C-alpha cells in the first residue's frame, strides 16, 4: 500500500500538479490539506479520469481537507465534536483494513493569540477523539500538515526560529501528547538525519535550492502498521514544477 499526504495550498490552483503526480506515483491513498474551496465548488471534474474515489470537506477560501482513494472510503467522519468553529480540518475514513485520519492542524498565528490557543485545543480535541473512539492496537494512519516541527532537525535554522508558533515548547508538547497515544513518526524512524523538509516558504529567495525549509507534514502510524512500513520519503520534485504548492508530497510504502 502506498499512502501520501500533501498540503495543496488551494486545490483549484494545484489540479494540474495533482493529476500529474497521481499518474506518476499511483498512491492507494492521498490525503490533501488546505483545499481552500467550499464543497459546491470542489473541482471534482478535474480528477474524473484518474480512477480515484474522492471525498472532501471544505469551506470558502480557507482550510479544507480531501481524500483520494483507489478503494471506496467508508465510515466517514468530517468533524471533531468539540470544534464549534466548524472549520474544515478533519476527515476520517475506513479504507480497506485501515483507518486514515487526515488533519490540517491550525497554524496558530502568534503565541499570545486566540488562534494559538485554538491550535493547542485542537490537538487536545484530537487526542480525546482517539481516546474515545479508537485504541493504539488498531491499524490507524494519522496524516497531514500538523503545523509543528517536533525537533531541531525539523527546521533549517533552529536557533533563529525557536519560539515560532510551529516550533515552540507548547506546540511540540501538544503534538507529543497525541503521538504518545500510540503513533510512530515513520519518516523520522527511517531517516534520522537532518536536512529533510516538506515546506519551503515562497518568500525565501531560492528557498528550495538552498533547502531553507521546515518538516511540517507527517505520516504517523500505529505500531502494527509502522512495523510493516518499508519506507517513508519526501518527493521534492513537484516543488519545482510549474505553479507548485509551498509544500510537497510525503509518501509511505507499507507491506499491506
- Which of these is catalytic: 28, 52, 129, 145? 145
pLDDT tens digits along 179-234 = 999 999 999 999 999 999 999 999 999 999 999 999 999 999 999 999 999 999 99
Q: Which domains does the chain have, with CATH numbers?
A: 2-254 (3.60.10.10)
- Which of these is catalytic: 104, 123, 129, 218? 104
Say how far apart CA 208 and CA 201 lie, in whole Å.
8
Q: What percent of the chain has pLDDT over 90?
A: 100
Say how far apart CA 248 and CA 4 lie, in whole Å.
10
Question: Cβ neighbours of residue 194 under 8 Å, at least 6 residues apart?
Answer: 153
Say how far apart CA 235 and CA 223 lie, in whole Å.
24
Is 145 an active-site residue?
Answer: yes
Instruction: Look up the pTM and report it.
Output: 0.98
* Alpha carbon of residue 235 to chain centroid: 14
- Mean pLDDT, rounded, of the chain: 98
Question: Cβ neighbours of residue 248 under 8 Å, at least 6 residues apart?
Answer: 6, 198, 199, 234, 235, 236, 237, 238, 239
Cell of 239: 516543488
Say how far apart CA 246 and CA 9 lie, in whole Å.
7
pLDDT tens digits along 44-103 = 999 999 999 999 999 999 999 999 999 999 999 999 999 999 899 999 999 999 999 999
Q: What percent of the chain has pLDDT over 70?
A: 100
Cell of 41: 465548488
Amino acid at each position: 500500500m502506498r499512502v501520501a499526504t500533501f498540503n495543496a495550498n488551494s486545490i483549484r490552483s494545484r489540479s494540474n500538479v495533482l493529476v500529474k503526480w497521481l499518474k506518476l506515483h499511483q498512491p492507494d491513498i492521498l490525503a490533501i490539506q488546505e483545499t481552500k474551496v467550499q464543497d459546491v465548488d470542489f473541482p471534482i471534474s478535474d480528477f474524473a479520469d484518474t480512477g480515484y474515489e474522492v471525498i472532501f470537506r471544505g469551506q470558502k477560501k480557507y482550510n479544507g481537507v480531501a481524500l483520494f482513494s483507489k478503494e471506496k472510503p467508508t465510515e466517514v467522519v468530517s468533524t471533531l465534536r468539540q470544534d464549534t468553529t466548524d472549520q474544515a480540518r478533519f476527515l476520517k475514513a475506513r479504507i480497506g483494513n485501515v483507518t486514515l485520519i487526515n488533519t490540517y492542524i491550525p497554524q496558530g498565528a502568534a503565541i499570545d493569540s486566540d488562534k494559538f490557543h485554538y491550535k493547542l485545543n485542537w490537538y487536545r480535541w484530537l487526542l480525546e477523539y482517539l481516546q474515545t473512539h479508537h485504541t493504539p492496537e488498531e491499524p490507524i494512519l494519522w496524516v497531514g500538515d500538523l503545523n509543528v516541527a517536533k525537533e531541531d532537525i525539523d527546521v533549517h535554522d533552529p536557533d533563529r526560529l525557536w519560539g515560532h508558533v510551529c516550533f515552540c515548547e507548547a506546540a511540540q508538547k501538544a503534538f507529543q501528547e497525541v503521538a504518545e497515544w500510540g503513533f510512530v513518526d515513520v519518516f523520522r524512524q527511517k531517516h534520522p538525519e537532518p536536512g529533510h523538509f516538506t515546506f519551503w516558504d515562497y518568500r525565501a529567495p531560492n528557498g528550495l535550492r538552498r533547502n531553507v525549509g521546515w518538516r511540517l507534514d507527517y505520516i504517523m502510524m500505529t505500531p502494527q502498521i509502522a512495523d510493516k512500513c518499508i519506507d517513508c520519503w519526501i518527493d521534492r520534485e513537484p516543488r519545482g514544477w510549474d505553479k507548485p504548492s509551498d509544500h510537497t508530497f510525503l509518501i509511505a510504502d507499507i507491506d499491506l
